[in-house]
Amino acid sequence: EKLCNQIAAGEVVERPASVIKELLENSLDAESLEIRIEVERGGKRLIRVMDDGTGMSQDDAFLSLERHATSKIQSESDLFRLGTLGFRGEALPSIASVSRLTLSTRSMQSEEGWEIYTEGGTVKRAGAVGIPAGTSIEVRDLFFNTPARRKFLRRDETEIGHIADVVTKLALAHPEVQFRLVHNGRPLLEVNRHGNLAERVAAILGRPLLKDLIELRQEGPEGLCLSGYLSRPDANRSGTGSIYTYINGRFIRDRVVQHALMDGYRNLLLKGRYPIVVLFLSLDPELVDVNVHPTKHEVRFRDQRLVHDFIANSVRDALRPSGW
């Protein structure tokens, strides 16, 4: 059982950023509106994610640390079918098996919270605590008991870069949620709740961008739907572009989608300019297969042509408003 968790940890937990991704997805699943992330030494010493979500009962708190006890997902193909981000009930046990983890949680209905401290997956202490409703998970000394894996962790700057990347991707997809990321006591990323994607995009990718964003909202054949923002191709910006694409709410970097976007921008971009794109594609889960590996961002569309042309045409139309 413990070994099993450590092996699973190899798949789910690659580095501090993958721990944070799992913890944030759980906080989002729990309908949190404010999420605070504290990190020390690139996450190698400490990762703490605090949310104001639904919290857990005492029983659920213990269950959440047991492998497969809680899976919200019965089969891999459910991954896109369900609204939740949870993978298969193995993230928390996996993380716990390779760290010193403290789970503190209180549901709105309970008078008091519950705190469980585990080392390498073994429960060492547990007891009632007075805390606000929500959940806090603290992960110390990641890979302390798997030195071979600890050796593969990079410099603090590299690890915090990966962490900021994970937080950015999730924050762009959840403008209704406040995120704060603090590294070694210094705020690194802070976005308030806007409930407005354009504001969130500008808050994260650059204030001046706000006036150069074009909204896209397009319905297509077979229930395809595309929405989000594109930078004007003639925007007077320098620097590199950024492309964030999501399929049914999950960040995906896909060859077909990428190609379709550039097709849409073709002949419109000024030389040396790169677009900024934040786009959400939603489609019937039957029309897409997801790579079953929990940390991969890969998909395969049943009908590539259909998806490609829908995206390329939608982008082209959005970039050529009546004034052009």
Query: How far, in Å, CA of 27 to CA of 45, rounded?
Result: 21
Choosing from 17, 39, 92, 277, the residue that interacts with ligand ADP (CB under 6 A) is 92
Question: How many CA atoms are closer than 13 Å to the CA of 176, on its beta-carbon side?
Answer: 4
- β-bridge mates for residue 139, sequence order: 47, 101
Nearer to Mg ion, 48 or 237 (CB): 48
In the complex with ligand ADP, which residue's Cβ is closer, 104 or 231? 104
Q: How many residues bind ligand ADP (CB under 6 A)?
A: 22
With CB under 5 A as the contact rule, the residue among 13, 46, 91, 197 that binds Mg ion is 91
Among 86, 93, 121, 228, binds Mg ion (CB under 5 A): 86
Binding of residue 135 to ligand ADP (CB under 6 A): yes
For residues 86, 87, 89 and 94, what is the CA-based torsion angle, rounded to 10 degrees? -110
Region 252-311 residues binding Mg ion, contact defined as CB under 5 A: none
Give me the 7-46 binding string for ligand ADP, x by CB under 6 A, dash otherwise: ---------------x---xx--x----------------
Number of residue whose CB is nearest Mg ion: 86
Specify the DSSP class assigned to residue 237: -
Using rule CB under 6 A, residue 88 touches ligand ADP: yes
Contact indicator for 88, 68 with CB cutoff of 8 Å: yes
Residue 214 C-beta: closest distance to Mg ion, Å: 35
CA neighbor of 99 nearest in space, from 217, 219, 16, 196: 16
- Nearer to Mg ion by Cβ, of 95 and 311: the residue is 95
Is residue 285 a contact partner of residue 80, using CB atoms and an 8 Å limit?
yes
At 109, which amino acid appears? Q
DSSP state, residue 189:
E
CB of 21 to Mg ion, least distance (A): 9
The DSSP bridge partners found for residue 190 are 180
Cβ proximity to ligand ADP, 182 vs 268, nearer residue: 182
Q: By CB under 6 A, is residue 102 in contact with ligand ADP? A: no
CA distance to 53, 55, 169, 246, 322, per residue, from 218 (Å): 32, 37, 22, 15, 16
Q: Which residue is nearest to ligand ADP (CB)?
A: 86
Indicate the residue among 78 and 263 with the shorter CB distance to Mg ion: 78
Selected from 5, 46, 51, 170, the binder of ligand ADP by CB under 6 A is: 51
The Cα–Cα gap between 187 and 41 comes to 14
Binding mask 21-60 for Mg ion (x = CB under 5 A): -----x----------------------------------
Q: Which residue lies nearer to Mg ion by CB, 64 or 314?
A: 64
Tell me the residue ranges of DSSP E strands in the chain.
34-40, 46-51, 100-106, 113-119, 122-129, 134-140, 178-183, 186-191, 213-219, 225-231, 242-247, 250-251, 276-282, 288-290, 299-301
Which CB, 3 or 148, lies closer to ligand ADP?
A: 3
Q: In whole angstroms, give the CA distance from residue 299 to residue 291.
A: 6
CA quadruple 189, 193, 196, 198: dihedral, nearest 10? -20
CB 37, min distance to ligand ADP, A: 12
CB of 89 to Mg ion, least distance (A): 7
Q: By the criterion CB under 6 A, which residues form the site for ligand ADP? A: 22, 26-27, 30, 51, 53-56, 60, 64, 70-72, 86-92, 135
Contact residues: Mg ion, CB under 5 A? 26, 86, 91
